[in-house]
Chain A
Amino acid sequence: MANEKKTIKFEIVTPERLVLREEILQITVPTQEGEITVLPEHIPLVSILKPGVIEVKREGKPNEIMFVSGGFIEVQKDKIVILADSAERGHELDEKQIEEAKAKAEDLKNKSKHLDNVEFTKIASLLERELARSQAFKRWKKISNIN
């Protein structure tokens, strides 16, 4: 265990930008099968992400919280790559905007009782995304308050 590497390279990208690239200790991501935590020396893995909160543990710095709306995670021997559909870091999240978007999504869902399946799934996924976003924000607030 003595020469085991403690940190691992981590990269999260969306089609629009590179969100974060850092050396990290561990990461927790929401996959379709459930939440997983990846540590250095994990076996190579590819998995699908669902909307949720990513939590990154770093050395000597407070944890980083990120919202992700879906995508993929690729774990390599010495590197973790997340290809996200869209992602936002904790400090980029705006409470008012989130609450508005969430309310709108909920409103849409309530109105949509008579809609067809396709439309309904669309709205449901929108709502799931907004809920995940607000969850990420709460988590982020909690962490930044501690520090």
Chain B
Amino acid sequence: MAKTKDISRRIKSINNTKKITKAMEMVAAVKMRKAVEAVLATRTYSNLSWELILNLAKMSQLNGSATHPLLVKRTKAKKVAIILITSNRGLCGSLNASVIMKAKESLEKHHIIDNQEVENSFILIGKKGEIFYNYKGAKVIAEFPKADIITSTEEIIPVAKLVIEDYLASKYDKVFLAYTDFINPAKQVPRVKQLLPVDIESEDKYLGVVGKSAQVGVTKEFIEYKEEKHLHSGKYVHEYTFEPNPQEVLDMIIPRLIEIQLYQALLESTASEHSARMTAMHQATESANDMVNELTLFYNKARQAGITAEIAEISAGANALAEV
């Protein structure tokens, strides 16, 4: 009987775990939905601001005036900073491991320039990344806490400020951003993109765009199309008037773009985290179910074996009595 007791105890404990994972799955699902909504809400702003920047940059190039320092490419990038967004908590599958790997890979790609090793520094958002890089002894410039549910851009302003100031002070020549892109609840992809300098010639169509929906993609073709539509009327070509002047508008909007990019990445990462956790917890619940089924089978077998043995014992005893 001892065996059946052991098994039933294990079944109970697995059932308890199952309840927990199930609850976590539900919580993650709710958080994910909120995070996804936030991502979608930011998309319009992000696309429109990117559009505006492309227009502005073109204008200031045409006028021959100096472009913004954050737009100027530096010839040799010897010092690279990477902003890494990870989750605060585990139990979300391979989410953090894969974004850390991806960041490492892309840093190794540009490892050596002119026989000199590139200096890497890290700006970390989220506890998991902090634990990893502190353990590795990497050069960590700053660690920012990450809220579970992101509600406003204020969370990202300190990060944006630090990065812009340090970049302008030439503490680094290039800034990358590593985060997890939310594609759908079942798929998250770690991504690394260049944040600074803002590369307006870049092939990266997604720089100012979030999500891979084709309808919202702001590509160069789209800008040209838009220009055609909005600025040409018949033979006349309109030009934007800038108040007070293009330079000042550019000065104002580029830091905003950096902020919005960071904000977006943070939202994407949060959405990814919650959906990864949801999937992981769903799988945990399912495997708990499998285990319970298997153990129930064992339990029944053991119980039956016990009963058979008992009956055999009793009938053996009765037989022995009858013989006497």
User: Which residues of A come within 8 Å of B, CB atoms?
Assistant: 11, 13-18, 31-33, 43-48, 72, 74, 76-79, 81, 83, 85
Contacts and interface: CB of A to CB of B under 8 A. Distances in A.
A77 B230 contact: yes
B48 A81 contact: yes
Interface of B: 38, 41-42, 44-46, 48-49, 52, 55-56, 151-153, 229-231, 233, 238-244, 248-249, 252-253, 256, 259-260, 263
B45 A48 contact: no
A83 B41 contact: no
Contact of A18 (B44, B231, B242, B259): B44
A74 B52 contact: yes
Main secondary structure of the interface of A (DSSP, over half): strand
A72 B253 contact: yes
A32 B244 contact: yes
A32 B42 CA distance: 25
A41 to B, nearest CB: 10
A33 B231 contact: no
Contacts, number: 80
Given A15-B263, A78-B230, A83-B52, A46 B45 contact: no
A46 B49 contact: no
A44 B231 contact: yes
Contacts of B44: 11, 13, 18
Contacts of A81: 48
A23 to B, nearest CB: 17
Contact of B230 (A18, A32, A76, A85): A76
Contact of A44 (B241, B248, B249): B241
A14 B152 CA distance: 10
Contact of B241 (A16, A45, A83): A45
B34 to A, nearest CB: 12
Contacts of A77: 229-231, 233, 238
A46 B48 contact: no
A33 B230 contact: no
B38 A16 contact: yes
20 contacts: A11-B44, A13-B45, A15-B45, A31-B243, A32-B244, A33-B244, A43-B238, A44-B238, A45-B241, A45-B242, A46-B56, A46-B242, A46-B243, A46-B249, A48-B249, A48-B252, A72-B49, A74-B48, A83-B52, A85-B153
Contact of A15 (B231, B252, B260): B260
A8 B241 CA distance: 19
A16 B42 contact: yes
Nearest to A32: B244
A79 B260 CA distance: 23
